[in-house]
Amino acid sequence: MAASFLKRWFGRDADGSAQTTPFTLPGALHSGARVLVVDSGDPTDLLFLTPLLESVRDQVEDASLGCICDERMSHLALSSELFDDVVVLEDEELSKEGRPSEGLRSALAAEPWDVAILAGSRPDRLREELALASGAVLRLGPGHPEAYPRINCEVRPRRRQSYPYQRTETWSRLLGLSPEERPLRWPLSEKRLRQCAQLIHFNKPRKEQLLIGVDPALGKAGAAPTAQNVAYVVNHIAQHIPSKVMVLSAEDPGPRAAELDQALRADRLDLPRPTLMERILLLSQCQLFVAGNTDLLHFAAARDVPSLALFTPADDAGWVPHQAERLEIVHLQPQTELDLAELMDRVQRLLR
């Protein structure tokens, strides 16, 4: 199709300037295309976008990938080696109204992008403004009544019962990329992984000890098992298998971390982990990961870390990483006692 219907009908942009650069689908990704990802601040939104980004890398000659994000997410973007450029958004680069400053607009427009993609499925005025300021001819993002002209290719979400990363299949087809299904993974620097493995070995020299990662954070559906229940599961595993436990979360879990700390009885491994990059590197060294439906659970699945997922009734089938090969999901029900023998059977299957 040509430029958006409104642009073809009215022939002008929102600022009144003539529309002279239509886009076509497929066809927006030409050789040497510059693609900008506008990050949402949610780590899994960037994770779920990786199959599309890897397809761009593999199928578009000399493509250049960039990401604009805040400082916290910049560490995650840099950990992947997916991006050629990472633009860190500082608070002072936003106006009081939460819009890009003139300086930021000028910086983005200095080397215009061809395509801007908004990560995630939630509308966000600021991110849409950033996409528009990038100069990208095609600006792809979540659809809503006020998206145009900031977004000129609106994507409606698939049915909710599908795992979120599957929406990138639709986006890939729109962009003319091969529809082959890619496994969800988060690539990390081999050098950094080796350094992290050495750090773990230095602090856990006994190889027979299992390294268990545990995440007390709230889940993606806004619910989570209690910190006491998570500790109960981890303590039971540690009673049967010599273990050290490392608490990891994508962000500060608040009082839940203190509650978990009080309830844990297993030996602890406490290492510095100030950034998202370091937390995911440490997560990649875990031999078992126990968590609710959290950000790090989905990164664990993407890193092939054996994971025991503690799902609440709020966590529906749309949050199940269906491609994960080393995942066991325990559905916790209120006022229902956990079958510990079955739990250990699941753990043993994960550790084979």
Q: Residue 46 has what pLDDT?
A: 94
Residue 188 confidence class, pLDDT cut points 50, 70, 90: very high
Distance CA 87, CA 97 (A): 21
Q: Give the count of beta carbons closer than 10 Å to the beta carbon of residue 296.
A: 29
The model's pLDDT over 174-186, given as tens digits with 9 standing for 90+, comes to 888 886 677 889 9
More confident residue, 274 or 8: 274
Q: What pLDDT shows up at residue 253? A: 79
Euclidean distance between CA atoms 56 and 33, whole angstroms:
9
Side chain identity at residue 202, one-letter code: F
Q: Sorting pLDDT into bands at 50, 70 and 90, what band is 281?
A: very high
Q: Residue 138 corresponds to which amino acid?
A: L
Reported as type and span, the H/E element at residue 117 is strand 115-118
95 or 242, higher pLDDT = 242
Query: For residue 225, what pLDDT band results from cuts at 50, 70 and 90?
Result: very high
Evaluate if pTM is beyond 0.95.
no
3-state secondary structure of 166: helix
Backbone φ and ψ for 108, nearest 5 degrees, come out as: -70, -35
Paired with 319 in beta bridges are none
Q: How many CB atoms are located within 10 Å of the residue 252 CB?
A: 8
The span from the CA of 52 to the CA of 260, in Å, is 37
* Unique residue bearing structure tokens 């983005």: 108
Upper half-sphere CA count for residue 176 (Cβ side, 13 Å):
13
Contacts of 106 (CB under 8 A, 6+ apart): none
Q: Can you give the pLDDT at residue 100?
A: 83
Distance CA 140, CA 113 (A): 13
CATH class assigned to 190-351: alpha beta
Superfamily for the 5-174 domain? Glycogen Phosphorylase B; (3.40.50.2000)
Residues above pLDDT 70, as percent of the chain? 89
Q: Is the dihedral of CA 173, 179, 184, 185 positive or negative?
A: negative
Answer for the pair 310, 233: CB distance below 8 angstroms, yes or no: yes
Q: What values do phi and psi take at 214, rounded to 5? A: -140, 135
Question: Three-class SS of residue 248?
Answer: coil
Cα separation, 118 vs 75, in Å, equals 19
Do the domains 190-351 and 5-174 match in fold?
yes
Residues 292 and 215: their CA atoms lie apart, in Å, by 7
The answer to whether 243 touches 266, Cβ cutoff 8 Å, is yes
Distance CA 222, CA 96 (A): 30
Tell me the residue type at 102: E
Burial of 210 from C-beta contacts in 10 A (0-12 / 13-18 / 19+): buried
Asked whether the CA dihedral 274, 275, 281, 286 is positive or negative, the reply is positive
At 13, is the pLDDT very low, low, confident or very high (cuts 50, 70, 90)? very low
Q: Are 322 and 339 in contact (CB under 8 A)?
A: no
Domain regions of the chain by residue span: 5-174, 190-351
Nearest to 131 by CA among 215, 67, 43, 224: 67
Rounded CA gap, 118 and 144, in Å? 13
Backbone angles phi, psi at 222, to 5 degrees: 85, 10
- Specify whether the CB–CB gap between 113 and 35 falls below 8 A: yes
**Residue 36: predicted pLDDT:** 96
Average pLDDT over residues 73-99: 82
Q: Which two tokens stand for residue 227?
A: 């910190």
Question: What would the pLDDT profile of 130-139 be if each residue is shown by its tens digit?
Answer: 999 999 999 9
| pLDDT at position 165 | 76
**Rounded CA separation 22/2 (Å):** 6
Contact 277, 79 (CB under 8 A): yes
